[in-house]
């Protein structure tokens, strides 16, 4: 399982400084009082809403990436497999289930827990049906087997790719579900915390959230410059505030600083490699335990300039006057945006948080020109079919645009499926293909 | 007309599932294929079309789909799509896929992109049972009905839909009779036989299926001797649309006396209420009552009580679970279900398969050991 690609080098000063920011992100749990409610949350729960209730949270998906990066995941996954969970299941899920089992045995985070700390016992869980089935089955399993606490799983649905979403009846049909589901989530939080939703606070939080996301989007757009001022190791580090901290001043400061740094680099035409030979687009989840893979690509002049995963997409204007409705509208508008790009491969993209997976056929045409793409790399994750399913279709569409693709297989959190030699071989062969294509 | 009757006819249809639909197409019928249980065939029937449940072919090669679907996709979804690519479903004028699970939902996009049909529809289905989720599904059924009206050029009023519901209810009644013949103290029908009948039901127009059912009831009811004295087991799991697993169980000394599978009990177990708004009735049956782990029924292990009751009612001695590779909803429920049933006194054996049952010898040995263990315990 040992790999030369375990260590990842970031290029931006801002993301290097995350080492200082992240402990604060994780350690805030240490300051909690025993009686404070703690919510385990699934991505798809708007962090803004949690912030408005001032609820302490844990994010098992994020914890999965941390355990993967710290090589704690294999142990937790094996424990879950011992309980009867299939090795085919999402490794984030089995990582959590194994952790829960050990937590209950020890009465505290087990010794294998990464140094950033373990997840504390939940008093409630907020699941989400956004993206895939395992993301709500996960909390159902935790709630049945380990921590018997109340669960609310939101269930936003997206229209299929061939549906006319401009039909007002269809739009209202989906909005009704979304709006009442949001309200259900608020009612649940009110019940669990004994507090009413503070609309005024949510309004201010939304403003901060919009501000942070504005800087973040601008950063990502600047990567269309040649050479690209930023790569994937910075991207996959910098998504953490977007996923869990929007609505906080800290996130605004972080993305503003990043924006200034990337702007400066762009102005100076400063790339991240000496000679940028290949500009790539990335599809799928990254191998969190081997993010150095991106540095390996960079050593060969290949820079990833766009990632379809966790992408915030385009700017969406919000009217924060009714902040709950603003959250509903933001969710719908992003869903509609992705729908216009084509969602034949990834239909479950209605995410009440602030990002999505941008892969549509029509979008690829735009990205090819805007980002001057030479090739695509797709990570087929064995235990996450949802992020992998559709990659062959995307490869077919890219091939029509003259963009070659490499599909390679491993996992996002379980390093047992990784092989350095195989990945290197595939990467070399792929880069040669791009060379041949551009020579012919 | 077909010379075969009853069980022989059911077997013939289940082995040659495309024959009758191609004939019907020749006769000028509109055939609409549907996949998974959340797009009610009653609505397709009320539109004057023939509902055809799309099934796979166990163990069939799926190499054709490699240009469109990932190897780590659900093997059932791959298998089903390969039937289309092989041209075996060319009689279909329409395709309805419901959002039952991730993979089935995603198949819709790929299928309609690469193999577009004159009519296609995704019926979206919430995972939750909140009031707003139920309202959404009920509206979704009405939109589905409207799209069929447009395509078929008909109006589906409440009366027409209720007639279809009543026809399907008659089928449900007859099937329950067959379930009693299979699961009684002296079983007069093998599960593998019943499965062939169920498969015929996916293929035939409901009127023809009802006729076939009556023949089978007469035939099995006339048997003087029980067909099997094997260890009584209940089967739970992912899709089963072939009789092979039941045959293996029978060969290994078991008799499946009850099942919790989507072509079987889940679909046919109770009648759709005939009174009131038919869309509300269909919603109750297909969303609220339909026991697929893709729907959230909370964290209380009591959500599995219906299985304990079924095992008790049919005097099952143990449970055999059957899961298909990558079937997240079933696989995530399995440890909780196993523990619950074991607490209730029902041991459980899990067979994990890639929709091929290729490893027949090993599977039979495991089932044999399980049935022997159960009978030793009894």
Query: What integer is the mean pLDDT of A264-285?
Result: 97
- Give me the residue label for tokens 């087997």: A145
Strand A405-410 relative to strand A302-307, pairing: unpaired
Give me the pLDDT at residue B229, please: 83
Chain B interface, best mutation among A149, A150, A157, A410, by max B CB count within 10 A:
A157
Calculate the alpha carbon distances from B60 to A13, B55, B87, B203, B358 in Å: 55, 12, 14, 19, 11
At residue A4 the predicted structure's pLDDT band, cuts being 50, 70 and 90, is confident
Q: Residues B43-77: pLDDT tens digits?
A: 999 999 999 999 999 999 999 999 999 988 899 99
- Are B130 and A391 inside 8 Å of each other by CB? no
Average pLDDT score over chain B? 96
Residues of B in contact with A139 (CB under 8 A): 299
Bond into A227 cis (ω within 30): yes
Residues of A in contact with B298 (CB under 8 A): 140, 143, 151
At residue A419 the predicted structure's pLDDT band, cuts being 50, 70 and 90, is very high
Summarize chain B as % helix, strand, coil (round to 5). Answer: 55, 10, 35
Give me the pLDDT at residue B378, please: 46
Residue window 40-99, chain A: list those with CB within 8 Å of chain B: 83-86, 88-90, 93
Query: What integer is the mean pLDDT of A11-30?
Result: 78
- Are B106 and A159 inside 8 Å of each other by CB? no
pTM to 2 decimals?
Answer: 0.96
Q: Report the range of poorest mean pLDDT among A15-19, A306-310, A412-416, B202-206.
A: A15-19
Residue window 346-375, chain A: list those with CB within 8 Å of chain B: 346-348
- Give me the residue label for tokens 């395509």: B151
Strand B94-98 relative to strand B50-53, pairing: unpaired
- Are A344 and B112 inside 8 Å of each other by CB? yes
Give me the pLDDT at residue A346, please: 78
CA distance B304 to chain A (A): 12
Residues pairing with B349 in the sheet = B320
Q: Which of A153, A161, A385 sits opposite B72 (nearest CB)?
A: A385
Give me the pLDDT at residue A413, please: 92
Q: Residues B307-361: pLDDT tens digits?
A: 999 999 999 999 999 999 999 999 999 999 999 999 999 999 999 999 999 999 9
Q: Residues A126-161: pLDDT tens digits?
A: 999 998 999 999 999 999 999 999 999 999 999 999
Q: Residues A58-107: pLDDT tens digits?
A: 999 999 999 998 999 999 999 999 999 999 999 999 999 999 999 999 99
Q: Residues A346-397: pLDDT tens digits?
A: 777 889 988 877 678 888 999 999 999 999 999 999 899 888 999 999 999 9
Give me the pLDDT at residue B377, please: 53
Return the structure tokens found at A248.
Answer: 């906080």
Query: What integer is the mean pLDDT of A320-347?
Result: 91
Q: Report the range of poorest mean pLDDT among A23-32, A292-301, B231-240.
A: A23-32
Torsion angles phi and psi, residue B125, rounded to 5: -135, 120
Torsion angles phi and psi, residue B56, rounded to 5: -100, -175
At residue A5 the predicted structure's pLDDT band, cuts being 50, 70 and 90, is confident
Q: Residues B210-267: pLDDT tens digits?
A: 999 999 999 999 999 999 889 999 999 999 999 999 999 999 999 999 999 999 998 8
Calculate the alpha carbon distances from A429 to A399, A404, A423, A434, A436 in Å: 17, 12, 10, 9, 11
Q: Which of B67, B143, B296 sits opposite A153 (nearest CB)?
A: B296
Residues of A in contact with B332 (CB under 8 A): 85, 89, 93, 133-134, 137-138, 140-141
Region for residue A107 given its phi and psi (left: phi exceeds 0; alpha: psi -120 to 50; beta: otherwise): left
- What is the CB-side half-sphere exposure of residue A108 using CA atoms within 13 A? 3
As for the ipTM of the complex, it is 0.96
Q: Find out whether A415 and A439 touch, Cβ atoms under 8 Å.
A: no
- Output the DSSP codes for A136-183: HHHHHHHHHHT----EEEE------TTS-TTSHHHHHHHHHHHHHHHH
How far is C-alpha A126 from the chain's CA centre?
A: 17
At residue A278 the predicted structure's pLDDT band, cuts being 50, 70 and 90, is very high
- Are B132 and A138 inside 8 Å of each other by CB? no
At residue B148 the predicted structure's pLDDT band, cuts being 50, 70 and 90, is very high
CA distance A435 to chain B (A): 24
Whole-angstrom Cα distance, residue B312 to residue B182? 15
Give me the pLDDT at residue A127, please: 96
Q: Is the dihedral of CA B263, B266, B272, B277 positive or negative?
A: negative
- Give me the residue label for tokens 């708004």: B277
Whole-angstrom Cα distance, residue B260 to residue A200? 50
Query: What integer is the mean pLDDT of B288-312?
Result: 97
Whole-angstrom Cα distance, residue A302 to residue A273? 8
- Longest CA–CA span in chain B (Å) reads 62
Return the structure tokens found at A423.
Answer: 């990945």
At residue A313 the predicted structure's pLDDT band, cuts being 50, 70 and 90, is confident
Q: Find out whether A373 and A281 touch, Cβ atoms under 8 Å.
A: yes
Q: Residues A181-219: pLDDT tens digits?
A: 999 999 999 999 999 999 999 999 999 999 999 999 999
At residue A28 the predicted structure's pLDDT band, cuts being 50, 70 and 90, is low
- Are B128 and A132 inside 8 Å of each other by CB? no
């Amino acid at each position: 399982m040992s790999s030369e690609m375990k260590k990842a080098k970031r290029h931006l000063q801002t993301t290097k400084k995350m080492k200082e920011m992240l402990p604060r992100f994780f350690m805030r749990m240490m300051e909690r009082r025993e009686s404070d409610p703690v919510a385990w949350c699934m991505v798809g729960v708007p962090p803004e809403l949690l912030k408005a209730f001032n609820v302490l949270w844990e994010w098992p998906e994020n914890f999965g990436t941390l355990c993967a990066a710290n090589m704690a995941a294999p142990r937790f996954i094996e424990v879950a497999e011992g309980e009867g969970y299939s090795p085919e299941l999402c490794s984030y899920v089995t990582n959590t289930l194994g952790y829960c089992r050990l937590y209950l045995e020890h009465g505290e985070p087990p010794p294998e827990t990464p140094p950033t700390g373990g997840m504390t016992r939940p008093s409630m869980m907020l699941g989400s049906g956004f993206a895939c089935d395992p993301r709500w089955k996960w909390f159902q399993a935790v709630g049945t087997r380990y921590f018997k606490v109340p669960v609310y799983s939101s269930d936003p649905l997206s229209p299929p790719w061939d549906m006319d979403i401009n039909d007002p009846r269809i739009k209202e049909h989906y909005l009704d579900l979304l709006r009442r589901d949001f309200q259900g989530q608020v009612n649940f939080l009110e019940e669990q915390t004994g507090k009413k939703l503070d609309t005024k606070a949510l309004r201010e939080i939304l403003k901060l959230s919009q501000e942070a996301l504005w800087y973040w989007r601008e950063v990502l757009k600047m990567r269309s410059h040649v050479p690209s001022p930023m790569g994937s190791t910075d991207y996959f580090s910098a998504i953490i505030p977007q996923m869990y901290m929007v609505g906080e001043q800290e996130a605004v400061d972080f993305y503003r600083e990043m924006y200034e740094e990337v702007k400066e680099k762009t102005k100076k035409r400063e790339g991240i490699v000496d000679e940028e030979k290949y500009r790539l687009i990335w599809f799928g989840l990254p191998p969190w335990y081997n993010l150095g893979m991106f540095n390996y690509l960079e050593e060969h002049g290949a820079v990833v300039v766009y990632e379809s995963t966790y992408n915030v997409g385009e700017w969406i204007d919000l009217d924060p006057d009714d902040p709950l409705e603003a959250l509903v509208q933001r969710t719908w508008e992003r869903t509609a945006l992705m729908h216009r790009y084509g969602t034949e491969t990834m239909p479950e993209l209605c995410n009440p948080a602030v990002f999505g997976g941008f892969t549509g056929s029509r979008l690829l045409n735009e990205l090819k020109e805007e980002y001057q793409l030479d090739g695509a790399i797709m990570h087929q994750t064995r235990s996450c079919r949802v992020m992998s399913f559709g990659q062959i279709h995307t490869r077919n569409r890219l091939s029509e645009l003259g963009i070659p693709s490499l599909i390679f297989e491993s996992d996002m959190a379980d390093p047992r499926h990784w092989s350095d030699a195989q990945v290197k071989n595939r990467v070399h062969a792929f880069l040669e293909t791009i060379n041949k294509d551009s020579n012919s | 007309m077909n010379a075969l009757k009853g069980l022989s006819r059911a077997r013939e249809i289940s082995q040659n599932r495309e024959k009758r639909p191609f004939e019907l197409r020749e006769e000028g019928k509109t055939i609409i294929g549907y996949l998974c249980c959340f797009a009610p065939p009653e609505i397709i029937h009320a539109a004057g079309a023939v509902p055809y449940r799309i099934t796979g072919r166990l163990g069939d090669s799926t190499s054709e789909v490699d240009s469109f679907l990932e190897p780590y996709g659900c093997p059932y979804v791959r298998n089903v799509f390969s039937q289309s690519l092989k041209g075996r479903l060319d009689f279909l004028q329409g395709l309805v896929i419901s959002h039952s699970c991730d993979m089935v939902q995603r198949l819709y996009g790929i299928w309609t992109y690469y193999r577009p049909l004159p009519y296609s529809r995704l019926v979206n289905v919430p995972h939750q049972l909140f009031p707003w989720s139920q309202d959404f599904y009920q509206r979704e059924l009405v939109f589905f009905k409207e799209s069929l009206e447009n395509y078929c050029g008909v109006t589906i009023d409440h009366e027409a839909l209720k007639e279809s519901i009543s026809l399907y209810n008659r089928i449900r009644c007859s099937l329950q009779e067959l379930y009693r013949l299979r699961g009684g103290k002296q079983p007069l029908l093998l599960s593998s036989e019943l499965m062939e009948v169920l498969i015929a039901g996916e293929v035939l127009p409901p009127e023809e299926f009802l006729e076939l059912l009556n023949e089978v009831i007469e035939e099995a009811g006339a048997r003087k001797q029980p067909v099997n004295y094997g260890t009584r087991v209940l089967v739970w799991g992912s899709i089963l649309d072939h009789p092979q697993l039941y045959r293996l169980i029978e060969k290994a000394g078991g008799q499946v006396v009850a099942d919790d599978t989507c072509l079987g009990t889940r679909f046919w177990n109770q009648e759709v209420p005939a009174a009131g708004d038919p869309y509300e009735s269909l919603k109750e049956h297909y969303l609220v009552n339909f026991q697929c782990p893709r729907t959230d029924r909370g964290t209380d292990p009591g959500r599995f009580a219906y299985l304990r009751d079924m095992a008790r009612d049919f005097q099952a001695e143990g449970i055999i679970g059957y899961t298909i590779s990558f079937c997240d909803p079933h696989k995530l429920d399995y440890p909780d279900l196993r523990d619950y049933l074991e607490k209730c006194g029902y041991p459980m054996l899990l067979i994990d398969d890639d929709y091929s049952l290729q490893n027949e010898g090993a599977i039979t040995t495991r089932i044999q050991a399980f049935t022997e263990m159960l009978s030793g315990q009894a």
